[in-house]
Chains A and B, each alone.
Chain A
Amino acid sequence: MAKELIMSGCASAAQAAKYAKVEVICSYPIRPYTAIMMELAKMVANGELDAEFIHGEGEHAQLSVVAGASAAGARALTGSSGVGVTYAFETYSPIAGGRLPLQMMIADRALDPPGDFGSEHTDAMSARDQGWIMGWAENPQEAFDNSLIYYRVGEDHRVLLPQMACQDGYFVSHIPGKVVLPDQSQVDEFLPPYKLPHPLDPKHPVSHGPQIRPDQGTIMDLQRAEAMLAAPAVIKEAIADFNKIFGRNYSPFLEEFMTDGAEMVFFLQGAHSMTCRHAVRHLRSQGVKVGMVRLRFLRPWPTDDVASVLSKFKAVGVIETNTSYGGATRGGSLLHEVRASLYDCPQRPLTTSFMAGLGGEMVPLREFYYMAEVMSKMMKEGKTKKNVYWVNHEFDEA
């Protein structure tokens, strides 16, 4: 029977792994994601979950262990945060290129220096171009749901890609929220057993990850590109099924909140959308025609959806909880992709970006009000004055 509980994002992610019946888990501690592994270790010790629980000697080892497990035909899980995510960087391309659909749960964390532990999206976003399915959960329920959806999409033979199931460190990973735990039969219906088309098997010996020639490298790149091209249709299918089986109401790529009659929208991903909803409701009550569009998948980037949804508005404020130092807009990387998606639209909104929620800071309501003010001004003047606003740190306010 499905039951409703209050639990943190880490606890709900661990529950998702249990429902998905993961077979091999490899851990290495780093906060905040480490609570996922604590929960799983308990489940394995108590006999609730029949999985190999392996202690890696670091993140690079963690990813290497699960790559082997996945190649051998086991549903595998690992995870990390912050500098742990970047320490394992070398393994991301071979895992994606080797088409091993394992899952890495990330509770994000600001990168060093000097040892900040707050939430920021830069850690996992640094690995966004390696061929992993990736997106952020807004709350513990979505962290649970995304994990199951990602396994299903990644393991689909039309895709076969690893997944980074991300959630905001602390804001999601450690703040309890309502989570509906489904019945096991629902999950079994949604997520078929793990079946790799090319597993390591002593009866049919194959070479995984052999040395290849440069002319074969291009073809390997094409294979990974093809998998990403195939992914959106598979995601739509999976989410339609998920909504049906679990009685949820997810739109696959973009969630629109109070966008009816909106002239301008906040565009963001992850936990700060919780506060953003309150800000939108308040601003609407004051007569400001604002809404919110929340990104559910960073990879594959939903180019067409972003173009069709955002071109309905007059102004878009992209809230970056990541950094792209020296990038085209000198702020974060979301605006790059938003603008690239909108470029071919006949009717383009004015766009700008806001650096907020960096280093684990909250994005309080007053910051959303400030952003709305900047966007209103932008609409009034009919032009984008600046590509990026470092919220609270601009000399020239709005």
Chain B
Amino acid sequence: MPYFKIPKEKEVPLACITPAPVGEQPMMITGNWRIYRPVIDHEKCTLCMNCVMFCPDACWQLNEEEDEVVWNAKYCKGCSICVRECASGALTNEYELNFADGVVRLEKPF
């Protein structure tokens, strides 16, 4: 008999022990923390892979078929490390507010 009412969508596994994620962890979306968003100019990008190497959350990945780096909006916290490390000036910061799908516009913050 449970002691507390916990709605289904709010349930958390015991001690929050979760199956080890393969690829992405859907229980911990952090993309909505952004104030800045890194924007790539593919014309300037030399595929030096600095962004791929330096992103602490592995939000830049190489798409080998298209031969370009791809950004993961779900997990990018907007720390701007990639922008700082970009060797070719292909990456720039833009205000999250300037985008129609900007995370600060979401009705539900989490």
Q: A residues touching B (Cβ–Cβ < 8 Å)?
A: 97-99, 160, 197-198, 205-216, 219-220, 222-223, 225-226, 229-230
Q: With contacts A213-B28, A214-B110 known, is A208 near B15, CB below 8 A?
A: yes
Whether A210 contacts B28 by the Cβ 8 Å rule is yes
Whether A212 contacts B16 by the Cβ 8 Å rule is yes
Tell me which residues across on chain A come within 8 A of B2, comparing CB atoms.
226
Tell me which residues across on chain B come within 8 A of A225, comparing CB atoms.
3-4
A234 to B18, CA, bound (A): 27
* Extra A-B contacts (13), CB below 8 Å, given A207-B20, A211-B28: A97-B15, A99-B14, A207-B21, A207-B25, A208-B17, A210-B25, A210-B27, A213-B28, A213-B110, A215-B10, A222-B4, A223-B14, A226-B4
Whether B3 contacts A223 by the Cβ 8 Å rule is no
Interface centre among B4, B11, B15 (most CB of A within 10 A): B15
Q: With contacts A216-B12, A223-B12 known, is A210 near B6, CB below 8 A?
A: no
Chain B residue nearest to A228 (CB atoms) is B3
Whether A206 contacts B18 by the Cβ 8 Å rule is yes
Query: Within the complex, which residue of A205, A213, A214, A223 is in contact with B15, where a contact is CB–CB below 8 Å?
Result: A223
Task: Determine how close the nearest CB of chain B comes to the CB of A390; give it in whole angstroms.
Answer: 40
B1-56 interface (Cβ within 8 A of A): 2-4, 6, 10-12, 14-21, 25, 27-28
- Interchain residue pairs with CB less than 8 A apart (19): A97-B15, A98-B17, A99-B14, A99-B15, A160-B15, A198-B15, A205-B19, A205-B20, A206-B20, A207-B19, A210-B27, A213-B28, A215-B10, A216-B16, A219-B6, A219-B11, A220-B16, A225-B3, A226-B3
Chain A residue nearest to B12 (CB atoms) is A219
Chain B residue nearest to A100 (CB atoms) is B15
